[in-house]
Amino acid sequence: MKVAIDAMGGDFAPREIILGAIEALKVVSCEIVLVGDQELIEQELKKQGVSPNGAITVHHASEVITMHDHPGAAVRKKKDASVVVATKLVKDGTCDVVISAGSTGAAVAAALFGLGRIQGIERPSIATPIPNHTGTTVLLDSGANVDSKPKHLVQSAIMGSIYTEYVLNIKDPGVGLLNIGEEETKGNELTLATYPLLQQLKTIRFIGNVEGRDVFRGNVDVVVCDGFVGNVVLKVGEGFAKTILQLIKEAIKASGLLTKIASLMILPALKKLKKKMDYAEYGGAPLLGVNGGFIICHGSSKARAIKNAIRVAHEFSEKKVVEHIRESLAKEGACTHDEE
């Protein structure tokens, strides 16, 4: 497998991207193409004592899309931007998967323009793994589309179920529709129209409406919603996890000697909890629905997150997720389309 990495995307590019790529090669069997400013990339590789070779090569790209650029306009205008060039490498068959920690909007635009959509998918979805009480819940869409129609949520449900089954190895995953109550009659126009469409699907196990707390309880494997709601859920969960851990640290520091000594006994458990809640452990979120593998990473990703994103990319490619999505869409046929 060959991975194209946008080496210039993210808050800590290119150094942390390169460090992650180097670390990944110790645990993942693949070839890596670092796309971006060749001089900067090779300088960093030299600092790490690594020379471009068969395992890591460099593909020059002279431009970068920043967080301040308009995603669609920048992808069309900056033809030699690192994320655009990396996507082209997958389009022409040179590489199998793209990874980017740059602008999410630019990543989605590059994937749509460069790879195109799978037939039967109108809008792709970002499928983000979220740690729950017992394992992992996949939330989609978590930011690709802020305005969705029922058919978009139906397509997300199919894709999320496929990804969860084949990559996370959860057999017959339960799919829930995020709502303000469990009753079928509750919700806004979008969820009320989506519910009966999900009931008709033959290739997923739809368990009905689920509420926000269910995302973290572990009683649902895939949660479907529009990208606006999904992104809010994701950011609230991320912020809450960091706040709780910080409050625990501050409470221990402010306590007496006996409490501080006792806290040493629970330190291993706290470290384990912190690791489970850290987005870096999950690497990146796949953009499902495009004709190729595309893994989107957190903008603040450092080496560990990039290393894990490469692992996710490898699993995505090996499990042939795109092909399985095509097969499921073919089986569902008209069920994936609502009335205009």
Residues 6 or more apart whose CB falls under 8 angstroms from that of 193 comprise 150, 338
| CATH value at residue 81 | 3.40.718.10
Residue 244 lies in a domain: yes
Residue at which a domain ends, from 59, 83, 115: 115
Q: pLDDT at position 251, please? A: 79
Residue 95 lies in a domain: yes
Residue 302 lies in a domain: no
pLDDT tens-digit series, residues 299-314: 889 999 999 999 999 9
Residue at which a domain ends, from 115, 148, 170: 115
Residue 263 lies in a domain: yes
The span from the CA of 147 to the CA of 137, in Å, is 22
Are 102 and 129 members of one domain? no
Q: pLDDT at position 335, please? A: 54
H or E segment at 288?
strand 285-288
What Å distances lie between residue 34 and 50, 103, 165, 294, CA to CA? Answer: 13, 17, 30, 15
What is the percent of the chain with per-residue pLDDT over 70, rounded to a whole number?
92
Residue 61 lies in a domain: yes
Residue 316 lies in a domain: no
pLDDT tens-digit series, residues 3-30: 999 999 999 989 999 999 999 999 999 9
Structure tokens at 179: 């709502």
What Å distances lie between residue 206 and 42, 153, 196, 216, 222, CA to CA? Answer: 49, 12, 10, 18, 9
Are 8 and 53 members of one domain? yes
Q: At what angle do helices 150-166 and 321-332 cross, to 10 degrees?
A: 130
Taking Cα atoms as reference points, which of 103, 14, 107, 23 lies closest to residue 59? 14
Across all residues in the chain, what is the average pLDDT? 89
The span from the CA of 14 to the CA of 46, in Å, is 13
The 10 Å Cβ neighbour count of residue 126 is 27
Are 106 and 194 members of one domain? no
Q: How far apart are the first and last CA of the chain?
A: 41
Q: pLDDT at position 239, please? A: 84
Q: pLDDT at position 245, please? A: 76
Q: Which amino acid is at 281?
A: E
Are 19 and 163 members of one domain? no
pLDDT tens-digit series, residues 115-140: 999 999 999 999 999 888 888 999 99
pTM for the full predicted model: 0.88
Are 106 and 130 members of one domain? no
Asked whether 177 and 209 are in contact (CB, 8 A), the reply is: yes
Are 163 and 71 members of one domain? no
Structure tokens at 43: 């300088």
Residues 6 or more apart whose CB falls under 8 angstroms from that of 330 comprise 120
What DSSP state is assigned to residue 336? G
Q: How many folded domains does the chain comprise?
A: 2
Domain that holds residue 186: 123-280+323-340
Are 83 and 222 members of one domain? no
pLDDT tens-digit series, residues 88-108: 999 999 999 999 999 999 999
Q: pLDDT at position 319, please? A: 93
Asked whether 82 and 6 are in contact (CB, 8 A), the reply is: yes
Residue 264 lies in a domain: yes
Residue 151 lies in a domain: yes
Residues facing 117 on adjacent strands: 290
Are 275 and 128 members of one domain? yes
Are 147 and 63 members of one domain? no
Asked whether 190 and 235 are in contact (CB, 8 A), the reply is: no
Are 329 and 181 members of one domain? yes
The span from the CA of 317 to the CA of 250, in Å, is 43
Are 100 and 131 members of one domain? no
pLDDT tens-digit series, residues 255-264: 777 766 766 7
Are 144 and 95 members of one domain? no
Residues facing 205 on adjacent strands: 174
Residue at which a domain ends, from 67, 94, 115: 115
Q: pLDDT at position 181, please? A: 92
